[in-house]
Structure 1
Amino acid sequence: MTTTHFGRTIGARSRVAAATIAVASLALAGCSVGDGNDLTLATGSTGGTYFPLGGEIASVWSNNIDDISVTATVGGASVENLRALDQGEVQLIMSVNATAADAVTSSGDFADNPLADPADIRALGNIYPEILQIVTTRDSGISSIEDLRGKRVEMGPLGSATSALAAQVLEAYGINPATDLDATLDSGFGDAATNLGDGVVDAAFGILAAPTGSIEQLATTNDVVLLDIQGAALDRLLAENPLLSPHQIPGGTYRGVDNTNRTVTAWATLYAKADLDDELAYELVRVMYENARSVQHSAARDMLLNTAVDGLGPVEVHPGAVRFYEEQGISVR
């Protein structure tokens, strides 16, 4: 397989789960932006970061913007979320920045099946750094990515940025996922962590906040190992993916993992379409950043104005969001 895009995944893309989080619309305070706006935010799988964090952000919006009710749904993650947004099935999505860049340029996963209107995608702002975590256990005997040959590996849900990046990491190490692994699974990370703990698989890829609850729970019953991305393979990966950056997870982030883990990161970003009302876009961005400390999720500590428009690549920022950032003295390209 050859590609130079982060948003590429293997095989057919199918599924967006139907489960939802109902978020109350209490309208406690804030600026009114209209009458009866019901919005849907597509997130990710239940065991990852998007789903619980998205529910918290949706609740903050609902409680602080008059006449707004936001429902956060389990989504198929980046690729499927972008397709759902393009088709008008949802109004807001969370996606990895590099996957969104592929969507608007009709490359990577979107080369053969582009969005109906790729130029209509707009960024609202970054939420937190997406950290690739490649997890195994001491009992597996795996200590490096090279050791994944012939093993059973959770690659991430089909249509997700995890699946795309997992394939690219393996290929950077000369491993063809289709031929060099014993088996590949496509579970959400919660199920992937369970499968890893139960010995169903040998390793799992996840694009997550650090720490993330699924790995913390796994570490209570297993000796967890995080695999490093480094050397020439890291150089190849970064050359192919200009919106990725090197990242280090400090030792001690997870129980029993004392060494620094060398990996890569991108941004989890909030997206809408160009026709989202400007005042509504302004309020969504304002409330999200002004109330970041009230979001009950560890990833919210990285929801910062000074990184809100970093690494957006070719995706335009929504005019309503631009107005807010300019008021805060933040330059938007």
Structure 2
Amino acid sequence: MKKKWIWLYVFLLASMSALTACGGGDSAGDNSFLTIATGGQSGVYYPLGAAIGKLYEQELGAKSSIQATGASVENINLLDQDRAEMAIIMGDAATQAYEGLEPFEDKVESFQAVASLYPNFVQIVTTEESGIETMMDLKGKRVAIGAPNSGVELNARAILKAHGLSYEDFNEDFLSYAEAVDGMKNGTVDAAFVTSGLPNPSVTDLGTTKKVKVIPIEGKGMNKLQELYPYYSEATIPADTYGNKEEIQTASIMNLLVVQSDLDEETVYQWTQTLFENLEPIHRSHNAAKEIDFDTARENVPIPFHPGAEKYYEEAGQ
């Protein structure tokens, strides 16, 4: 009888160990499901994130959830709170998180880079009828500056500071791209900060009913911007992007694909490999996404790479 109870005890102990091995442990190593934090549905992040999620479903059998968000800052917080595994963010927000600068109260280092994606162009959009020609003309106007603490709003603060301006100089509205464009259409908004790839769908839509103007960032303002925030680069919006006859000088900042730091190396290796070996559907997601390229995947990245991404680049000879 005693032997019977001993064998029962051994059986139960072995069963519990097996259950722990199958069901316990760190879920970060499970690449069968991932949440991708993107941005507003009227921007570039959302269709790009959807294309990445669909690619992983087709090639890796993963299930993905594409989260529409307020973009960069919210996305970093979602990663930090274990509410997303992957996100698209702007390089300035990444730097501010790692350094614990506003709008982050403390350093946030719970995410790492997978790849540099494509440049975001700062576009200060208005219409011909607004009479706005320069940054200084924003004084006293109604200006949309993106969602609160979004990457767009961070850009707006930086651009304004470089030009000696602040929110006190105009009436600010925290609006999405689509809301800002609707406001310019009906006359309740005079100008909007739009930071995205080219062309931005909402700005293109504005051009169907209004004559679009993009205010240049150049000269002393551009120099001061780079002095204050070295991660900005000089950039050019090509002629005829929004019906403009000539090129427009502006600033740009790189977009990054990032993941949670504690995801295991093999998972992130597979995600990185799958992305760069299947770029065609990614390029089709948006015109801006055509700039995503293996040869530039490690350029202008201000934070550490995830070991899984590093492993892929080393093996692929990049």
TM range (shorter): 0.7 to 0.9
Corresponding residue number in structure 1 for 2:154: 164
Instruction: Please state if 1:306 is matched with 2:295.
Output: yes
State whether residues 111 and 261 of structure 2, in contact with CA within 8 Å, keep that contact through their aligned partners in structure 1: yes
1:204 aligned to which of 164, 184, 192: 192
Once the two structures are TM-superposed, the CA of residue 34 in structure 1 deviates from its matched residue by 7.6
Corresponding residue number in structure 2 for 1:264: 251
Deviates more, 1:270-279 or 1:142-151: 270-279
Once the two structures are TM-superposed, the CA of residue 273 in structure 1 deviates from its matched residue by 1.7
**Partner amino acid, structure 1, of 2:140:** G
How many angstroms apart in 1 are the aligned matches of 2:46 and 2:184? 21
1:1-333 equivalences under 5 Å are 37-66=32-61, 68-110=62-104, 113-115=105-107, 118-177=108-167, 179-181=168-170, 183-254=171-242, 256-295=243-282, 296-313=285-302, 315-330=303-318
Once the two structures are TM-superposed, the CA of residue 145 in structure 1 deviates from its matched residue by 1.2
Moved over 3 A (4+): 33-36
- Count of residue correspondences: 289
How many angstroms apart in 1 are the aligned matches of 2:195 and 2:299? 18
Corresponding residue number in structure 2 for 1:3: none
How many angstroms apart in 2 are the aligned matches of 1:198 and 1:290? 45
Deviates more, 1:71-80 or 1:165-174: 165-174
Once the two structures are TM-superposed, the CA of residue 36 in structure 1 deviates from its matched residue by 6.6
Contiguous gaps of at least 5 residues in structure 1: 1-32
Give TM-score, length-normalised by structure 1: 0.83
How many angstroms apart in 1 are the aligned matches of 2:178 and 2:101? 29
The SS at the match of 1:211 is coil
State whether residues 126 and 213 of structure 2, in contact with CA within 8 Å, keep that contact through their aligned partners in structure 1: yes
**Partner amino acid, structure 1, of 2:115:** G
State whether residues 43 and 196 of structure 2, in contact with CA within 8 Å, keep that contact through their aligned partners in structure 1: yes
The SS at the match of 1:163 is helix
Once the two structures are TM-superposed, the CA of residue 35 in structure 1 deviates from its matched residue by 6.3
State whether residues 29 and 263 of structure 2, in contact with CA within 8 Å, keep that contact through their aligned partners in structure 1: no
Pair 1:194–1:301, CA change in 2 (3 A): same
How many angstroms apart in 1 are the aligned matches of 2:264 and 2:158? 37
Q: Deviations over 1:233-274 (max 9, x none)?
A: 1101011111111100111112x2112111111111111122
Q: Bigger radius of gyration, 1 or 2? A: 2
Corresponding residue number in structure 2 for 1:26: none
Identity %: 33
Pair 1:36–1:96, CA change in 2 (3 A): closer
Root-mean-square deviation (CA, aligned residues, Å) is 1.6
Q: Tell me which protein shows more helix as a share of its residues.
A: 2
How many angstroms apart in 2 are the aligned matches of 1:36 and 1:135? 40
The SS at the match of 1:57 is helix
**Partner amino acid, structure 2, of 1:180:** D
